Structures are given as C-alpha cells and as structure tokens.
Amino acid sequence: MVTREALHEELNPFQIAKQQFNRAADYLELDDSTRHVLSSPKRQLIVSIPVKMDGGDVQVFEGYRVQHNIARGPCKGGIRYHPNVTLDEVKALASWMTWKCATLGIPYGGGKGGVICDPKSLSINELERLTRRYAFEIAPIIGPDRDIPAPDVYTDEQTMAWIMDTISMVRGHTELGVVTGKPISLGGSQGRSEATARGCLYALREACKVKRIDLKGARVAVHGFGNAGANIARLVAADGAKVVAACDSKAGLLCESGIDIQAALQHKAKTKSLAGLPGARAISPEDIVTVDCDILLPAALENAITLANVGQVKAKIIAELANGPTTPGADRVLADEGVFLVPDILANAGGVTVSYYEWVQDQYSFFWSEKQINESLEQAMQTAFNSVYETAQRYDTDMRTGAYILAVDRVAEATRVRGIFP
C-alpha cells in the first residue's frame, strides 16, 4: 500500500543531494558559511547544440556542464545522453561526484554533463555531430587540469574519442587527458570498461563479511543491465553467486535456479534486450527491486527505491551501482529494517578511481597493466569501505551518512585551509 507520505516524497535529485549533505553537515556541526559554499555548484553552463540531421534539417538540443567543487582538484564526472536529463539532475550528479572522489581520497572535485536527447533514435553520424558540437560548446571550461569528462548513461568510449579529438583540434595538439573512458588506442586505461562493476564487487565482498553472508551461493538481483549492471552480474556469478533476477529498460527476468549470465549477455548483444531469454520468466522491470534475494544491486537510474516500494524490498544487502537509486525516505526504512546499504558514493566509485588512474597515465604517457589497475582498485575500495564503516560506527549512523561525514569533512577541511578568494 502506498502511503500519503510516499505520494509527497521529494524526488528531485538535487534536493535529495542537499538533504544528504545537510545530514552529514549536522553531524559535523558545520557553520552556515561552510554549508553555503559546499552545497552550491561553482559553475553551471547551459548550451544550445544545433545538429544537422541526416535528413538535412537542423535540430537544436540543450546540454549542460556543471562544476560543483574544485577545493581538492579539477572537476571530474560523466556525460549522459537521455531524454529526461534536467539541470537539477546534473547538479545533483556533480555534487555526488564531489563526495565520491573525497570518499575514495581522489584529488578531484565533482562535475557532470548531460544532453537532452534520445540517443536510441539518432544515427551514428547524428550522435557524432551532436557530441562534437557539445564538446566545442563546453570546450572553454574543460581540460586535463580543469574538468575531465567521462562516459555515463548512453555514452561510451566512442563518445569520449570524439570529444578528445574535437578538443585536440580546437587546441592544436593532442589532448589525451581531457577525457577518460577512452579506447585503449587513444590513451585509455586497461580495466576501465568494467571498473565501476569491479569496484562494486570489491565493496560487496567487504559488506558480505560485515553481514556474515557468503557471496558464493547468495541470491542476487540486478536492476539495470547496461555496462555496470551487465558487468556486475558477470562478476558476481564468477564469484559463485546466483543471479535470480535482472532487468533492462524493456524487460525483467526471474529464474529461481539462476540466470545463465553468459547466455543473457549474448542474447542482449544480439537482440538489444533481455526480453525473451530462454529459461527465465518475464516480470516487470520495476519488480526487480522487490524480488526475494540476499543482495540487491540497483544499476539503472535515480529513485528506483522509494517510500512507495521500499516496504517490499527483501534484500539483506544493497550496493548502489547507480547514482541516487534510493530516496532519503527509503533510506530511513532500510536502516530501521537492518538492511546493510553500501551507498552510491562508495559502491560505484570504481569507475572514477580507474578514471583517475587513466588520467595519471595520460599525464605521464606511461601505462599500467590490467593486473596493476585491478590490484590498486581493490586496495582503494577496501580502504574506503573500512574508512566509511568505521566512521558510521563512530557516529552510530548508517553507511550512507558515514560516507558523507567522511567526504564532507575532507572537502570542508580543504576549503578551510585554502580560504575564500579574494
């Protein structure tokens, strides 16, 4: 039953981001001045993107780039192409990136970009023209020492290659470090494509130790089957877990005996959807978060777990591969029910961590092996998980608030030491 409170729950991602920040700021007893500085985006750029379509007409798309904070280093954050992109969503994602980088101890601030479009309806040539014009429009504020974009929803290494080339042509020299998540042939890093999922796997293993759950044999549900969702399904299955449910934007699957992940990956690559996978029962994608499982991995978009459905969640551990999949109201319910939640700014930080490694490699033109990348990532995720867990225990609070207390304190200290110019 949907409660009246659920109907009026705040679902605006930027308002949610501010609630999460303020909760940590209360624990840290931050003064009002510091709160104003840390909760306000440094820069918001809105651009019009005229694109010549294949039919000869010109359509104008709207795009954004938000830089939230540079106290600890240049901004870092993905670019998403989606019909429902809003400025508030991009502002929220930029602020989450600030806290994510601080949680991992990476010397970046948060940034994010987005273009309002339906990439599935655009040809490859239209996507290239859209991407190059968007890159040109945001060129004045991005660069390896200013703001480094990366892939996000419906963007990939090809998108990053186009952006890198466009910026390089504008500046008259090859600028490898202007984006991360590039193809290996253009200064990309080994291990980057699966880094978000692999980082989540390392955090999930630590969470299983806390909850005394053996990942081998655990029943797992994966909500979302893009790059992160498909990779985490493959990785947990390799660890011996049983993926009993999964979904993409079109279809959901349920199989109590476990979905054959390799078959699902091949079926998705062939048909562009999970729909019709043999050996699994079709269910609504929205129902994935409520299936009977030990571990739930939200890997789609924001607001997947809200007050409207949190009462039906049966998982003992939730690790957030998506950004902002759980609302503050649902957070409180999960904490009361004893569900162990690994928050997004920790669980999905593997992507930005290996992006950082890629940026470092590009700066020095000295590249590491995949083994080195994965070993460094595992150590970084374990260290961050333990720091967050210890902070949560010290303040007697949940893991999300523990992560925010840790991150906000680090950014506040950097801001205090630097001071306010002029």
Q: What is the pLDDT of residues 184-226, one digit of tens each?
A: 999 999 999 899 999 999 999 999 999 999 999 999 999 999 9
Q: What is the pLDDT of residues 364-375, one digit of tens each?
A: 999 999 999 999
pLDDT band (50, 70, 90) for residue 8: low
Indicate if 142 and 246 belong to the same structural domain.
Answer: no
How far apart are the C-alpha atoms of 118 and 111, rounded to whole Å? 22
pTM: 0.94
Question: What single string gives the DSSP state of each residue in 111-166?
Answer: EEEEEES-GGGS-HHHHHHHHHHHHHHHGGG-BTTTEEEEE-TT--HHHHHHHHHH
Q: How many domains does the chain have?
A: 2
Indicate if 225 and 330 belong to the same structural domain.
Answer: yes
Q: Is the pLDDT of residue 161 over 80?
A: yes
pLDDT band (50, 70, 90) for residue 301: confident
Under a CB-based contact definition with an 8 Å cutoff, are residues 304 and 331 in contact?
no
Q: Is the pLDDT of residue 5 over 60?
A: no
Indicate if 152 and 212 belong to the same structural domain.
Answer: no
Indicate if 153 and 202 belong to the same structural domain.
Answer: no
- What is the number of other CB atoms lying within 10 angstroms of the CB of residue 272? 11
Domain that holds residue 119: 40-177
User: Within the chain, what is the greatest distance between any pair of CA atoms?
Assistant: 65
Indicate if 215 and 74 belong to the same structural domain.
Answer: no
Q: What is the pLDDT of residues 310-339, one digit of tens each?
A: 999 999 999 999 999 999 999 999 999 999
How far apart are the C-alpha atoms of 342 and 44, rounded to whole Å? 30
Give the residue from 198, 115, 96, 98 showing the smallest Cα distance to 155.
Answer: 115
Indicate if 165 and 245 belong to the same structural domain.
Answer: no
Under a CB-based contact definition with an 8 Å cutoff, are residues 162 and 131 in contact?
yes
Indicate if 204 and 60 belong to the same structural domain.
Answer: no
Indicate if 94 and 218 belong to the same structural domain.
Answer: no
Examine residue 312 and state whether it is found in any structural domain, yes or no. Answer: yes
Return the active site residues: 112
Please calculate the CA angle 190-195-200 and round it to the nearest 5 degrees. Answer: 155
Give the residue from 162, 153, 164, 76 showing the smallest Cα distance to 117.
Answer: 153
Indicate if 243 and 336 belong to the same structural domain.
Answer: yes
Indicate if 322 and 255 belong to the same structural domain.
Answer: yes
Q: What is the pLDDT of residues 339-353, one digit of tens each?
A: 999 999 999 999 999
Under a CB-based contact definition with an 8 Å cutoff, are residues 107 and 72 in contact?
yes
Q: Is the pLDDT of residue 168 over 60?
A: yes
Indicate if 243 and 150 belong to the same structural domain.
Answer: no
Q: What is the pLDDT of residues 15-60, one digit of tens each?
A: 999 999 999 999 999 999 999 999 999 999 999 999 999 999 999 9
Indicate if 221 and 144 belong to the same structural domain.
Answer: no
- φ, ψ of residue 28 in degrees (nearest 5): -85, -5
